[in-house]
Copies of this chain bind each other. A is one copy, B any other.
Amino acid sequence: MARARTYSSRPVLTVNLTALADNYQYLASLIGGARMAASIKADAYGLGSDVVGRALYGAGCRTFFVAHAGEGKLLRTAIGAKASIYVLSGNTPQDTAIFFGSKLKPVINSLTQARDWVKAIKDVNHPPRTALHFDTGINRLGIPNEEVDVFANDKALIEALDVDLVMSHLACAGDREHPLNAQQLGKFKMISALMPMVPLSLANTGGIYLGAEYHFKLVRPGIGLYGGKVTNTPDTEGVKPVVELHAPVLQIKTVKKGETIGYNASFTALKDMKIAIVSAGYADGLPVNLSGSDKRIVTSARLGKHRVPVVGRVSMDYTILDITNYKGFVELGGKAVFFGEDLEAQSAHSQMINYEVMTHLGARCRKIYVNE
């Protein structure tokens, strides 16, 4: 059996840092005089916040958003002291020391968080500045309507918080026609007018595509940087794929007509077949819903220049490909490729969203960062 010179059974997640930087520049080209920030929470959507953070810093990014203080601490170590790192969950009692130690800026989501923070920084020299996050209609985290007046009128509180950003978050930015976009925009303008000297931020990736009036001073894309499409007109989004899952071929075998393949015997060979067992499964983020059964072949992997169907159930560690009609040469250690340009289609087949699939890819794979 022919095979690659050397290979490991461990699957590889390739993260293309050139495509990442290109996506950064592409999104920056859409926002006129606004500044770029990067949402790099959940370990940069599973791609590794240390390397991704440094790459984005190299591309010129100086403002980052994470979800938790612990994520901010790791990012601070990776990118150094100069960038701003905001923590979207805001300050929570147990995490205060991390905010101070790593110079993280809390995103204040409530009067409770505001008052807690003011109390916490009472005797601290040069505490981090903060952002105020107003809920303008997503009804998720953020300062609610009934607390807006307090923030608008309590000058001592605002001064103590040392606010350097006022922000909100869009609920329906991927749908250009959704009426909530304009409603949130209007409400954000009204609230932010109460704090006229502070820079403003509203747009996530989808918000960038909504156009100039959504951009304000700072935009904070996440998924778009990582090559994900977010709108109902994906062809208009000029981002490039960043992530591929490479599953090495561990074995090639023949299956006789009438035999079944994989768990639950869910796929039956209708003729003699040749299959390749590749080393990646749902523990590597390849969804079980991509399995190919007697009812339906759901997806294919790229093998060299061709595509080969996934047959049988995707299992924890292995996936099976039908190479019966494959025109190229398959060698042990050769790579079957998932996601990349197929991310949106394969996510849809998985009955998951592309964000969700992406965040699960990094768990077990070896990450290899490429520039190409």
Q: Contacts of A320 on B, CB cut-off 8 Å?
A: 139-140
Cβ A42 vs Cβ B317 within 8 A: yes
- Set B90, B312, B360: member contacting A363, Cβ < 8 A: B360
Known: A138-B262, A141-B250, A315-B140. A92 touches B356 (CB 8 A): no
For residue A9, which residue of chain B has the nearest CB?
B89
Interface range on chain A: under 10, 10 to 19, 20 to 34, or 35 or more?
Answer: 35 or more
For residue A66, which residue of chain B has the nearest CB?
B317
A residues neighboring B (CB under 8 Å): 1, 3, 5-10, 41-43, 45-46, 67-70, 87-90, 92-95, 109-110, 112, 135, 137-142, 144, 146, 171-172, 174-175, 178, 180, 248, 250-251, 253-255, 259-265, 275, 277, 279, 282-283, 287-289, 312, 315-318, 320, 332-333, 351-353, 355-356, 359-360, 362-364
Cβ A43 vs Cβ B92 within 8 A: no
Q: Contacts of A332 on B, CB cut-off 8 Å?
A: 112
A1, A10, A356: which has the most chain B beta carbons within 10 Å?
A356
Known: A95-B9, A138-B263. A316 touches B41 (CB 8 A): yes
Given A6-B93, A43-B363, A139-B275, 6 further pairs, Cβ under 8 A: A109-B251, A135-B253, A140-B312, A174-B264, A288-B356, A351-B351
Q: Contacts of A263 on B, CB cut-off 8 Å?
A: 138, 171-172
Query: What are 23 inter-chain pairs, A to B, with CB distance below 8 A?
Result: A1-B110, A1-B112, A7-B93, A8-B70, A9-B90, A10-B69, A67-B316, A68-B317, A88-B317, A89-B250, A90-B250, A92-B250, A138-B262, A140-B312, A140-B315, A141-B250, A146-B254, A171-B260, A171-B264, A180-B265, A282-B356, A287-B356, A316-B356
Cβ A7 vs Cβ B92 within 8 A: yes
Known: A43-B364, A112-B332. A140 touches B171 (CB 8 A): no
Cβ B259 vs Cβ A137 within 8 A: yes
Q: Contacts of A89 on B, CB cut-off 8 Å?
A: 9, 250, 279, 317
Known: A10-B68, A262-B171. A277 touches B140 (CB 8 A): yes
Cβ B8 vs Cβ A265 within 8 A: no
A175, A359, A362: which has the most chain B beta carbons within 10 Å?
A359
Q: How many copies does the complex hold?
A: 2
For residue A175, which residue of chain B has the nearest CB?
B264
Cβ B139 vs Cβ A261 within 8 A: yes
A43, A174, A180, A283: which has the most chain B beta carbons within 10 Å?
A283
Cβ A41 vs Cβ B283 within 8 A: yes
A294 to chain B, nearest CB (A): 14
- Set B7, B287, B318: member contacting A94, Cβ < 8 A: B7
Q: Contacts of A139 on B, CB cut-off 8 Å?
A: 253, 255, 259-262, 275, 312, 320
Q: Contacts of A175 on B, CB cut-off 8 Å?
A: 264
Q: How far is the CA of A141 from the CA of B67 in the complex (A)?
A: 40
Q: How far is the CA of A96 from the CA of B353 in the complex (A)?
A: 38
Cβ A251 vs Cβ B110 within 8 A: yes
Q: How far is the CA of A98 from the CA of B139 in the complex (A)?
A: 51
Q: Contacts of A9 on B, CB cut-off 8 Å?
A: 67-69, 87, 89-90, 92, 95
Cβ B251 vs Cβ A359 within 8 A: no
A19 to chain B, nearest CB (A): 21
